[in-house]
A and B are shown apart, each in its own frame.
Chain A
Amino acid sequence: MLEVKSLQVSYGAINALDGISLSVKPGAIVTLIGSNGAGKTTTLKAISGLLRTQAGSIAYDGQDITNLPPHQIVKLGISHVPEGRMIFANLTVHENLMMGAYLQKDRHVIHGELELVFATFPRLKERGKQIAGTLSGGEQQMLAIGRALMGKPKFLMLDEPSLGLAPLLVKTIFEKIVEINHQHGITILLVEQNANLAFEISQYGYVLETGRIILQNESKLLRQNPQVRSAYLGA
């Protein structure tokens, strides 16, 4: 579904991504883990067109999308839930969700998506008219994911959905991610620092370190890898 080849991205003189390659199969949950500054967020931003790449290629469903503008990439069915929740704080919950369907003009489709989002996150329905900036952290994360779902994506990229959330909420959010994957049939690329949980729900994983992929394997095997265990799982 997604094929990234020798991707290179730099911020000025600094190479953030030094030729990484990864692939995501349809219907899968694939995770990308790594410490701060490894290049996880940069990878997602490059895929969604928010950053320009210097070299390498990104293909989606066989189509080359390298350096396409973000709105065209969204149109192809790729949604990005940015790090740190980044909801529109001055808009209501409902308006935030509507912004997610910005490129969708068909009212029936929008309405259907809204129902699906509310079915997944009933809390968002209760809070429809509330200004999004006043939601709790967990609710904001739900809103950020819900907003991305409004775009009717086939491929969803989540950037550290567990960031700054209480452990119990993290668990809820991860259950929802699995639900979105299973019930909506949406392929997911998950960036996480919480490697334990990420490996638990994903089928395949990549370990990123200073702009390079140092390990890749099936998640259950990565979990047992001594190198991964000592560096990321605290064992």
Chain B
Amino acid sequence: MDNAAKRFLFAAVALAVIVSLCSSYFNRYYLGVAIDVGINVILAVSLNLINGHTGQFSLGHAGFMAVGGYTTAKFALLLQGQLPPWAQPLIFVAGLLLGGSMAAVAGLAVGVPTLRLKGDYLAIVTLGFGEIIRVIFQTTEAFGAATGLTGIPHWTNFAWTWSCAALTVFVVACLVNSTYGRGFIAVHDDEVAAGAMGINPVRYKITAFVIGAFFAGVAGGLYAHHKQFLSPGGFDFLKSIDIVVMVILGGMGRTVGVIIAAVLLTILPEALRGFAGYRMILYSLLIIILMLTRPQGLFTFGRAAQRKV
């Protein structure tokens, strides 16, 4: 399984680089949507570790994304003019790592005091947390306050985005399928029984939060350098809900399903542009119909199939 997973990672990264090299042949709009899709895949797969595999209901993923996005962007803006052009990719990678790390710290900060809460209560607390983060960025002058950050260099491309997406899938899949990682599923299935086995459920929940938040932060960084503009409004709780919908629609804890749902739910609103004003109504209707007909998630393959990733 490990080798198959590594092969998947290399193949996906190679493919992303090749597609990126040919990017001048593609329509810019489609390329932009493809990058949006990649970012959403990272967000959905990382949230799936928290909500799906570990069974914690977090509504604050946009908050972690915001921490990563603002950190990465600010880092780039501070260093941009001071280093030679060849250092750009280094700044970008360092910025993404820094953004992810800051988001992970935020995940730890929210995780430690709140993870003794369960279900609805945890959802409400994480929702509040996400809003707090947004408001902090909205009122901090250094981060552009309500007007947001502008002039962020356009460094995100297809290769970076999809390599990060592949890495996220790789890390989450390997983690969950490892002996250590089965603890996440055990905590999800039954906390008391997991505790009785000597598993520390609180530690697993915090680990899930920290890792999930890290990748959300990376996604935020990619987003910042893709849109070249960050405003606090983009990270409100509706964004968190969007990601939660991808996870639920794809099937909680089903990595493949969640990826497909992220792809579908990013492309769908774009594809529905032809319907102009009715677009979001159609989008919502489709989600309602999907949930009514497939409440267990759209793409719930057997776990055997899922493990090939």
With beta carbons under 8 angstroms apart, the residue of B182, B198, B199, B200 that contacts A91 is B182
Q: Is the CB of B182 within 8 A of A70?
A: no
Q: Is the CB of B253 within 8 A of A74?
A: no
Interface positions of B from 153 to 189, Cβ below 8 Å from A = 179, 182-183, 185-186, 188-189
The prevalent SS among residues of A at the interface is mixed
Chain A residues with CB below 8 A from B182, complex form: 91, 95, 98-99
With beta carbons under 8 angstroms apart, the residue of A79, A91, A98 that contacts B196 is A79
With beta carbons under 8 angstroms apart, the residue of B179, B189, B199 that contacts A90 is B189
Task: Considering the complex, give the chain B residue whose CB is closest to the CB of A83.
Answer: B192
Q: Is the CB of B198 within 8 A of A103?
A: yes
Measured in the bound complex, the distance between the Cα atoms of B183 and A69 in whole Å is 17
Interface positions of B from 200 to 231, Cβ below 8 Å from A = 200
Chain B residues with CB below 8 A from A69, complex form: 200
Q: Is the CB of A90 within 8 A of B195?
A: no
B146 → A minimal CB distance (Å): 44
A118 within 8 A of partner (CB): no
Q: Is the CB of A71 within 8 A of B192?
A: no
Scoring A residues 18 to 50 as 1 if CB is less than 8 Å from chain B, else 0, what string do you get?
Answer: 000000000000000000000000000100111
Q: Is the CB of B196 within 8 A of A80?
A: yes
Q: Is the CB of A88 within 8 A of B199?
A: no
With beta carbons under 8 angstroms apart, the residue of A71, A89, A92, A95 that contacts B199 is A71
A contact set with B: CB distance below 8 Å: 45, 48-50, 69-71, 74-75, 79-82, 86-92, 95, 98-100, 102-103, 131, 144, 147-148, 151
Known: A88-B190, A95-B182. 11 other contacts (CB 8 A): A70-B195, A82-B192, A89-B189, A89-B190, A90-B189, A90-B253, A90-B303, A91-B186, A99-B199, A102-B199, A103-B197
Measured in the bound complex, the distance between the Cα atoms of B195 and A144 in whole Å is 14
Measured in the bound complex, the distance between the Cα atoms of B195 and A79 in whole Å is 11
Q: Is the CB of A99 within 8 A of B196?
A: no
Q: Is the CB of B198 within 8 A of A102?
A: yes
Chain B residues with CB below 8 A from A95, complex form: 182
B193 within 8 A of partner (CB): yes
A49, A92, A99, A100, most chain B CB atoms within 10 A: A99
Chain A residues with CB below 8 A from B199, complex form: 71, 99, 102
B contact set with A: CB distance below 8 Å: 179, 182-183, 185-186, 188-190, 192-200, 253, 303
Chain A residues with CB below 8 A from B190, complex form: 82, 86-89
Measured in the bound complex, the distance between the Cα atoms of B148 and A90 in whole Å is 44
B180 → A minimal CB distance (Å): 9
Given A75-B198, A147-B197, A151-B197, are A99 and B192 also a contact pair (CB < 8 Å)? no
Q: Is the CB of B186 within 8 A of A50?
A: no
Q: Is the CB of A131 within 8 A of B192?
A: no
Chain A residues with CB below 8 A from B194, complex form: 88, 99
Measured in the bound complex, the distance between the Cα atoms of B201 and A69 in whole Å is 11
Measured in the bound complex, the distance between the Cα atoms of B197 and A79 in whole Å is 7
Q: Is the CB of B185 within 8 A of A50?
A: no
Given A99-B197, A99-B199, A151-B197, are A91 and B192 also a contact pair (CB < 8 Å)? no
Measured in the bound complex, the distance between the Cα atoms of B192 and A148 in whole Å is 13
Q: Is the CB of A88 within 8 A of B196?
A: no
Given A98-B182, A99-B183, are A91 and B189 also a contact pair (CB < 8 Å)? yes
**Pairs A–B under 8 Å by Cβ, sample size 10:** A70-B198, A71-B198, A75-B198, A82-B190, A86-B193, A86-B196, A88-B193, A99-B199, A102-B197, A102-B198
B187 → A minimal CB distance (Å): 9
Measured in the bound complex, the distance between the Cα atoms of B195 and A38 in whole Å is 23
A45, A48, A87, A90, most chain B CB atoms within 10 A: A90
Chain B residues with CB below 8 A from A147, complex form: 197
Q: Is the CB of A91 within 8 A of B193?
A: no
Measured in the bound complex, the distance between the Cα atoms of B194 and A117 in whole Å is 19
Chain B residues with CB below 8 A from A99, complex form: 182-183, 186, 194, 197, 199
Q: Is the CB of A82 within 8 A of B183?
A: no
Q: Is the CB of A71 within 8 A of B200?
A: yes
Given A90-B188, A90-B253, are A50 and B197 also a contact pair (CB < 8 Å)? no
Task: Considering the complex, give the chain A residue whose CB is closest to the CB of B187.
Answer: A88
A228 → B minimal CB distance (Å): 30
Task: Considering the complex, give the chain A residue whose CB is closest to the CB of B177.
Answer: A95
Measured in the bound complex, the distance between the Cα atoms of B200 and A4 in whole Å is 24
B182, B190, B197, most chain A CB atoms within 10 A: B197
Given A90-B253, A98-B179, A99-B182, are A74 and B197 also a contact pair (CB < 8 Å)? yes
B193, B194, B198, most chain A CB atoms within 10 A: B198
